[in-house]
Amino acid sequence: MPESETQKNLNRPAVRILPLAGLPEVASGDDLGALIMQAARKQGVGCAAGDVFVVAQKIVSKAEGRSVRLDSVEPSERARRWAAEFQKDPRVIELVLRESSGIVRMERGVIVARTRHGFVCANAGVDVSNTREGTALLLPEDPDGSARKLQEQLARAFGCHVGVIVSDTFGRPWREGLVNVALGVAGMSPLADYRGQRDAHGRVMQATIIAVADELAAAAGLVMGKLERMPVVIVHGVALEKGTGSGRDLIRPAERDLFR
Amino acid sequence: MPESETQKNLNRPAVRILPLAGLPEVASGDDLGALIMQAARKQGVGCAAGDVFVVAQKIVSKAEGRSVRLDSVEPSERARRWAAEFQKDPRVIELVLRESSGIVRMERGVIVARTRHGFVCANAGVDVSNTREGTALLLPEDPDGSARKLQEQLARAFGCHVGVIVSDTFGRPWREGLVNVALGVAGMSPLADYRGQRDAHGRVMQATIIAVADELAAAAGLVMGKLERMPVVIVHGVALEKGTGSGRDLIRPAERDLFR
């Protein structure tokens, strides 16, 4: 590594991942952007250009009224049949079916579905944990739209460019455990494209596109914790370039997917 | 959230992700642990209990002599056939086949294989980018063993408990882009198990196991960058409990995998 590069890296500040404390319980109709700003002010959190706010899907969904009372759900015949077979609540299965564009697997009580957005995850993102008894929480209808709205609001209020990621914890093929991933993205490019750049040996890099929004979501996951008492996390110090793109860019079209 | 909880979280320090600068080019036979310690001392990097060192697979493989000169590789008939079909270097295909326990897909010039360790990734982890011309770099033979050796060395030298993750960037099903994941893990549990804990509504959490080692690797990936000029990254401030386990715990047995 040339000396200038070493020096630059010595001076490169660390990435910091900060929980945003003091956020109240979020309810339907709440102005989530305003709540985040209030909590940030109270905590004395400033903002630098390129900071990324990672916001747990749960509070976005709650603010957007995506909570459903199970006793308002009339299960279809199909939902009843599957619920009986898997010993599940037929109303929850009904919601999963409504949220799905396709079922990937249905086995041993676990439904892996492709959501209408295109995400592949357990129960099509329908969540009955960490919600009020007798309710289920659905994914935001348009996580990119949710991210965009928050992004504009936070950028305006802070007076600097920020990225916003709406995240959720998903299982994945081949590997154990859940990781936090990006569903909605705004104010940044979700993919960092290194193709054409030269590696340390001066050779042009081949197929190297990093899912930086997913790495940011995963990093935030370390601080959110699964109990999600910290549903908003700020990532400082990632040298993020302003970029366009959305969470949809992270969804691999089935016909291009060689990894399954 | 009760007041005490808020206060605790206000005081909770951020997670910091620090690149370790000043590491020399690593060569076969190098004592990687010693090189990391020297760079850390030069940079004035201390260590707190629970810090995690994330080390890029590439420098581990280099130190362990996993670089192979392509002109020393005699391709089999099968490798020649596939190489001709996909217009690849038959010697590289030969290495991929040797490193694989099974081929998941072979299409459009991309081979997705299950390595002998059980990882599913492109080219069975055989890398011909970011290596010297005419050479290929294989994954460590035993990434958990590599992590364990480094972990013991660093813990002894720093005089405090650390975790070590040997990481690599992998593609994944369903989603675009690569993310950094944990191959070898030592000094920590790769999975954080929240089952049985109560959520914010007092209900017992169901199937919630977070792949914390993969989240740590992804977080480190933000700082490593793909050009991997920062192959060692230190994650400070994750309230990591001492734990056991290994990177193998992150490999989902095919028969339990509902996500594919």
Among the partner residues B12, B22, B200, nearest to A6 by beta-carbon distance: B22
**CATH class assigned to A13-64+141-251:** alpha beta
Q: Where are the domains of chain B?
A: 13-64+140-252, 67-137
Between B60 and A173, where is the model more confident? B60
Among the partner residues B129, B218, B251, nearest to A199 by beta-carbon distance: B129
Which of B92, B174, B205, B232 has the highest number of chain A CBs within 10 A, making it the mutation to test binding with A? B174
Between A35 and B228, where is the model more confident? A35
How many CB atoms within 10 Å of residue A242?
A: 11
For residue B129, the model assigns a pLDDT of: 78
Between B128 and B149, where is the model more confident? B149
Q: Which one, of A99, A107, A54, lies nearest residue A73 by Cα?
A: A99
For residue A14, the model assigns a pLDDT of: 84
| Mean residue pLDDT across chain A | 87
CB A110 within 8 A of CB A103: no
Smallest Cα distance from A10 to chain B, Å: 6
Between B238 and B147, where is the model more confident? B147
Name chain A contacts of B177, Cβ cutoff 8 Å. 190-191, 209-212, 214, 250
Q: What is the pLDDT of residues A232-257, one digit of tens each?
A: 999 998 877 678 889 999 998 877 77
Name chain B contacts of A110, Cβ cutoff 8 Å. 258
For residue A9, the model assigns a pLDDT of: 38
The CATH number, out of the four listed (3.40.50.720, 3.90.1660.10, 3.40.630.10, 3.10.110.10), of the domain defined by the range B67-137: 3.90.1660.10
Q: Which residue has the tokens 């055989």?
A: B126
CATH code of the domain made up of B13-64+140-252: 3.30.1330.100
Inter-chain Cβ pairs, chain A and chain B, closer than 8 A: 263
Q: What is the pLDDT of residues A41-57, one digit of tens each?
A: 998 887 888 899 999 99
- DSSP at B25: P
Q: What is the pLDDT of residues A67-126, one digit of tens each?
A: 999 999 999 999 999 999 888 899 999 999 999 999 888 877 788 999 999 999 999 999
Element (H, E) at A120: strand A120-122
For residue B13, the model assigns a pLDDT of: 62
Name chain B contacts of A203, Cβ cutoff 8 Å. 129-130, 133
Cβ B218–A223 below 8 Å, yes or no? no
Which of A1, A210, A227, A228 has the highest number of chain B CBs within 10 A, making it the mutation to test binding with B? A210
Name chain A contacts of B173, Cβ cutoff 8 Å. 120, 172-174, 252, 257, 259-260
Taking CA–CA distances from A193, the nearest residue in chain B reads B177
Element (H, E) at A111: strand A110-115
Cβ A258–B181 below 8 Å, yes or no? no
Smallest Cα distance from A77 to chain B, Å: 24
Provide mean pLDDT across the span A131-142.
93
Among the partner residues B119, B176, B259, nearest to A191 by beta-carbon distance: B176
Structure tokens at B190: 């790769």
The CA–CA distances, whole Å, from B122 to A72, B31, B106, B217 equal 47, 28, 10, 18
Cβ A19–B5 below 8 Å, yes or no? no
Task: Give the three-state DSSP class for A211.
Answer: coil
- Supply the ipTM of this predicted assembly: 0.91
How many CB atoms within 10 Å of residue A133?
A: 9
Q: What is the pLDDT of residues A159-208, one digit of tens each?
A: 989 999 999 999 998 899 999 999 999 999 999 887 766 666 666 555 58
Structure tokens at B176: 């675009």
Report the C-alpha gap between A103 and A97 in whole angstroms. 8
CA torsion sign for A180, B241, A176, A211 is positive
Provide mean pLDDT across the span B114-124.
94
